[in-house]
Chain A
Amino acid sequence: MRPLAAAVLLVFLGLVVRPAAAQAPSLELLLRAAVAQERVAYSAEQLLATWEGQQPHLALAHVQHDPAVGTRLVYRPLSGGQDRRVVWHTADRTLEYDPHTRRGRVYPAYRPQVSARQQVAWLTRNYSVSSAPSRLLGRQTQRLRMVPRQPGRPTVTVHVDVHTGVILRSERTSAGGAAREFSAFLSFTPRPVGWMRSQKLPADLQLRSEPPSRTATLQQVTSAFGRRLPEVQLPDGFSPVTAFLLEDRGTTVRRAYSDGLTTLVVSWRPQASASPPAGSRVVYRPGGPVWVRSSGLRHLVHWQHAGWAITLVAELSPDVLLGVADRTGIQPAPSTLDVLLEWLRSRLAVESDA
Chain B
Amino acid sequence: MRHPQDLLSGYVDGTLSAHEAAEVAAHLAECPSCRETVSDLRAVRRLLAAAKPPDPDPELLPRLLRADLGARRPRLQLGRWFAVAAATALLTVASARVSHLPPGSSRAVQELREHARLATRTPLNDLGLASFLSAFLPDPVEDNP
Contact = CB atoms under 8 A, between A and B. Distances in A.
B128 A73 contact: yes
Question: Chain A interface secondary structure, helix, strand, loop or mixed?
Answer: strand
Contacts of A96: 131, 134-135
Interface residues of B, number: 57
Contacts of B125: 263
A335 B132 contact: no
A234 interface: no
A280 B132 contact: no
Nearest to B134: A96
Given A96-B134, A186-B44, A63 B128 contact: yes
B37 to A, nearest CB: 5
A254 interface: yes
Interface in B87-145: 92-93, 95-109, 111-112, 114-115, 117-129, 131-136, 143-145
A333 B115 contact: no
A338 B96 CA distance: 11
A94 B97 CA distance: 46
A78 B98 contact: no
Contacts of B145: 249, 251, 269
Question: Chain B interface secondary structure, helix, strand, loop or mixed?
Answer: helix
Contacts of B134: 87, 96
A340 B103 CA distance: 17
Contacts of B123: 33-35, 37, 116, 119-120
A339 B101 CA distance: 11
Which size bracket describes the interface of A in this complex? 35 or more
B126 A170 contact: yes
A336 interface: yes
Contacts of A107: 117
A263 B119 contact: yes
A340 to B, nearest CB: 11
B30 interface: no
A308 to B, nearest CB: 13
A158 B122 CA distance: 15
Nearest to A185: B128
Contacts of A335: 96-98
Contacts of B124: 30, 33-34, 119-120, 123, 156, 158, 167, 260-261
Given A37-B123, A47-B44, A75 B115 contact: no
Contacts of A90: none
B131 to A, nearest CB: 5
Nearest to A60: B9
B128 A48 contact: yes
Nearest to B40: A186
B9 A45 contact: yes
Nearest to A45: B9
Contacts of B104: 276-280
A89 to B, nearest CB: 7
A165 to B, nearest CB: 11
A260 B129 CA distance: 17
Given A87-B131, A89-B120, A242-B118, A333 B99 contact: yes
A298 interface: yes
Contacts of B66: none
Given A186-B40, A289-B99, A181 B136 contact: no
B70 interface: no
A110 interface: yes
A282 interface: yes
Given A37-B123, A60-B9, A50 B117 contact: no
A108 B95 CA distance: 49
The 5 closest A-B pairs by CB, nearest first: A277-B108, A278-B104, A34-B123, A313-B115, A116-B123
Interface of B: 3, 5-6, 8-9, 13, 37, 40-41, 44, 48, 54-55, 57, 92-93, 95-109, 111-112, 114-115, 117-129, 131-136, 143-145
12 contacts: A48-B132, A55-B54, A62-B9, A94-B120, A96-B131, A96-B135, A189-B3, A276-B105, A278-B106, A282-B101, A333-B100, A335-B96
Given A75-B132, A85-B135, 4 more contacts: A45-B9, A111-B121, A181-B126, A298-B112
